[in-house]
A and B are shown apart, each in its own frame.
Chain A
Amino acid sequence: MPPPHHERPPPPRHHAPGDALADDPRLDDALRSLVDDPGARRFVLRCLVGEGPQHHRASNQVLVLLLAELVARLDGARPLDASGPQLAVAMRLPPHLRGDRDDQRYPISVPRAVLERLSDDPAAVDAMARAVVDGPPQHAVANVVMLGLLAQCLAALEGRPA
């Protein structure tokens, strides 16, 4: 038997105690229409509710679940239009460490057209796009996810494909 000081200390936890909701299976369902690949979806979900400050995780969870409910009620869950210009979140890497691989961005994108509803001025839309995808992933990826859900809601309300 090892001496008392060899006894194990309580383990450090990466998740905060209030993170039990992060395993909510409704979150995966909420993103299913936005991110097809299960592994990629899991990664996006982790960025939203598994990493970063607790208040961001919880907020993301609440907002995504509510938006997903809205999408469901509008029967609007369908893949977004990938044919036009897209909003994507690049990983925040030091410039000298950016490789030439195209997967150094998060596996989600939404049509940029959703922002164009707010302004006809391309410069203003550019500014909005830069703001939306800026910041750590619990901000930027969450913004894009929520924009995607909002785009589905708006399309459903207008009775057209997302």
Chain B
Amino acid sequence: MSDPSLAMAFSAAAGELGMSAASWLFLRTLAAVEAGAEEAAIESLGAQFPVMAAVGAAWREGHRGPRCDLEGVRARLDGVTRAVVLGVESAHLDALVAASPGLELGLVTESPLEADFERILANFGGRVAAVSLAELQRWSGATSALVTFLYGVDSHATQVSPIWLRAVGDDTRTQFRTLLGWNVLPAPMPVYPRWLVEVALDAFTDVVP
């Protein structure tokens, strides 16, 4: 498979499933069709998509699915009645929706990649509402939370979707009780986090490592 077309294929999946979920999907699919095919994808895509590089490293260590500490998230959202998610990671979102029937959920409909948010949201059967950046504050409150996905956590920093920076400023930070970062990678990324931005861990009130 040529690099440009494989990268386009990965972008199509990552835009709506999330970088981590798309990486696992690609590796599992390729390995199932032809043993060893996933290695070529890790090499080819890993150079362009750091999340794939990190997932590829985990794959080589024997992991076969994303890191998903749902209990950790539920504990940190105790007392929260509604949460707005920034960024897409389908496996984690599916788990959160299934495990939190009483939680009102919104998803910010912005992405650095092309994404059909109508389709993304249709997967949740009406449980997750579309939230534009302009109306983010409508969801604010003393029992509201902002949630985003972290791509690797070290002692002081992490990587997040740039949408987090677009949405969370000095005003919104004090209008949400909880600013939760949910790590989806088993290890920090080995290369510069293209597509993502690095932020200090103390930008969050809670981190699920």
Contacts and interface: CB of A to CB of B under 8 A. Distances in A.
A2 B141 contact: no
A156 B140 CA distance: 36
Nearest to A104: B141
Interface string B65-81: 00000000000001111
Interface in A24-59: 37, 39-40, 42-43, 46-47, 51-52
B157 A103 contact: no
Interface residues of B, number: 30
B124 interface: no
B177 interface: yes
B135 A97 contact: yes
Contact of B200 (A14, A40, A92): A14
B174 interface: yes
A136 B174 contact: yes
B143 A103 contact: yes
A159 interface: no
A101 B141 contact: yes
Contact of A2 (B142, B178, B192): B192
Contacts of B171: 92
Interface residues of A, number: 36
B198 A94 contact: no
B199 A12 contact: yes
B144 to A, nearest CB: 7
A122 interface: no
A10 to B, nearest CB: 9
Top 7 A-B residue pairs of the complex, sorted by shortest distance between their CB atoms: A11-B157, A103-B141, A6-B192, A43-B177, A13-B200, A14-B203, A39-B79
Given A6-B192, A91-B174, 7 more contacts: A8-B157, A11-B198, A14-B199, A91-B141, A93-B140, A103-B81, A103-B142
30 contacts: A2-B190, A5-B192, A6-B191, A6-B192, A8-B157, A8-B198, A11-B199, A11-B200, A13-B156, A14-B199, A14-B200, A14-B202, A42-B205, A43-B177, A43-B178, A46-B205, A52-B170, A52-B174, A91-B137, A91-B140, A91-B141, A93-B175, A97-B138, A103-B142, A103-B143, A103-B144, A104-B141, A107-B177, A136-B174, A138-B174
Interface of B: 78-81, 135, 137-138, 140-144, 156-157, 170-171, 173-175, 177-178, 190-192, 198-200, 202-203, 205
